């Protein structure tokens, strides 16, 4: 819901600051996150005591029409809640909703050393397809990413 945008931005900004899960370096505002709610790409949140502690968002994979059923996803968990299973709850909620929204595949890229995320994704059925070497730079350093996918 749009009302979750500020909480999602806060959690995403933690991930940006940690430099372990995204190439992004610019913090996001609630208004930035509101644009993610396009009515096509599911966004799920996990709440604890009425506070958003994790989220998973989807977005377009490519602009070409043939890829309309493929969605990229990102999953982030609030720092003080990491390792509690909130990310798994978010992913388990996303899978049937993405299928119901008409997607046939979910995919993402994960830094190789992000072993917690890789284990989480394997635990909910994603497979590691391969590695993009030197995919992009983060703070002037080339970084690889592991490609993960799930057929829905």
Residues 22-31: pLDDT tens digits? Answer: 999 999 999 9
* Class in CATH terms, 2-151: alpha beta
CA-based angle 112:48:101, to the nearest 5? Answer: 65
Q: For 79, which DSSP code?
A: G
Nearest alpha carbon to residue 99 among 56, 150, 62: 150
Helix (H) or strand (E) holding 110: strand 105-110
1, pLDDT greater than 90: no
**Predicted local confidence at residue 69, as pLDDT:** 97
71-85 per-position pLDDT tens digit: 999 999 999 999 999
CA distances from 115 to 10, 108, 126 (A): 23, 14, 14
Distance of alpha carbon 53 from the chain centroid: 14
DSSP single-letter state for residue 29: -
Percent of the chain with pLDDT over 90: 97
For residues 110-114, average pLDDT = 96
Mind listing the pLDDT tens digit for each residue in 23-57? 999 999 999 999 999 999 999 999 999 999 999 99
Check pLDDT > 90 for residue 62: yes
| Residue 29: per-residue pLDDT | 95
d(CA 131, CA 133): 6
What is residue 2's predicted lDDT score, i.e. its pLDDT?
81
The answer on pLDDT for 124 being more than 90 is yes
Percent of the chain at pLDDT > 70 equals: 100
Phi, psi torsion values for 9, nearest 5 degrees: -60, -40
Residue 150 is encoded by which pair of tokens? 């799930």
Mean confidence (pLDDT) of the chain: 96
């Amino acid at each position: 819901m749009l009302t979750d945008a500020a909480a999602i931005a806060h959690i995403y900004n933690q991930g940006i600051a940690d430099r372990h899960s995204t190439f992004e370096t610019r913090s996001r505002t609630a208004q930035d996150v509101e644009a993610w709610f396009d009515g096509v790409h599911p966004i799920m949140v996990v709440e604890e005591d009425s506070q958003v502690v994790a989220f998973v968002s989807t977005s377009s994979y490519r602009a070409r029409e043939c890829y309309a059923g493929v969605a990229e996803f990102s999953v982030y968990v609030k720092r003080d809640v990491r390792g509690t299973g909130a990310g798994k709850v978010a992913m388990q909620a996303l899978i049937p909703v993405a299928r119901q929204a008409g997607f046939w595949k979910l995919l993402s890229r994960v830094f190789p050393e992000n072993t917690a995320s890789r284990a989480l994704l394997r635990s909910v059925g994603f497979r590691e397809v391969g590695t993009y070497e030197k995919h992009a730079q983060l703070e002037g350093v080339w970084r690889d990413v592991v490609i993960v996918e799930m057929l829905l």
